[in-house]
Amino acid sequence: MLREKIIAAIEAVGFDEYREIEATELIFSEDVFASCKANTCGNYGKNHSCPPLSGDMQKNRNRFTAYKQAIILNKIMFLGNYYEKMEACGHTVAHLLNCLRESLSDEPVLIAGPGGCDHCDPCAAKTDEPCHFPDQKRYSMEGSGMDIVTLSRRLNMTYNGGDKKVGFFMVVMY
């Protein structure tokens, strides 16, 4: 069964927490898009999987709720005493996501994580071109308008682990 394959892949790759919910329990908020618009990460309008290029809230919501189930994943990472490990943490999370994508490449799933799509460097959006690989586009949870803070609280998952530890959230839709 697909669920068992996904759980086996999640356990093999290695995450710290996961919760299984219905797709309709995902939380979307215009406030998240408003934060994206402040462009602190530099992806606003510069990545096809981030707003406004990822579409409006309804389009983003529909992309995820086209699936029935969601498994929310969390990897808790230490950012360093002076946040000096932030970039390395991002690479580690990207690696975990790629391992998971590889394991489930033949399955009808949608996997999203933090940050914009990193399939090409740079994203075609930076030069105002259409996405080079629409079928392989990697969606961002925040860039799709998901309210991870509220969702993590509701699911009793670790968003802020204290002592410079934070949760990096990802989702598998199926």
Nearest to 48 by CA among 121, 131, 122: 131
Q: Name the segment binding ligand SF4 (CB under 6 A); options: 97-105, 106-114, 116-124, 147-155.
A: 116-124
Instruction: Report if residue 131 touches ligand SF4, rule: CB under 6 A.
Output: yes
Residue ranges of alpha helices (H) inside the chain are 2-13, 30-37, 57-65, 86-103, 148-154
Nearest to 94 by CA among 67, 71, 121: 121
Q: Name the segment binding ligand SF4 (CB under 6 A); options: 19-27, 42-50, 103-111, 155-163.
A: 42-50
Which residues partner with 110 through β-bridges?
173
What residues between 65 and 104 interact with ligand SF4 by CB under 6 A? none
Instruction: Report if residue 42 touches ligand SF4, rule: CB under 6 A.
Output: no
Instruction: Report if residue 160 touches ligand SF4, rule: CB under 6 A.
Output: no
Nearest to 53 by CA among 126, 133, 148, 147: 126
Min separation Cβ 43 and ligand SF4, Å = 10
DSSP state of 141: T
Among 48, 73, 112, 171, binds ligand SF4 (CB under 6 A): 48
Positions touching ligand SF4 (CB under 6 A) are 47-49, 117, 119-120, 123-125, 131-133, 136-137
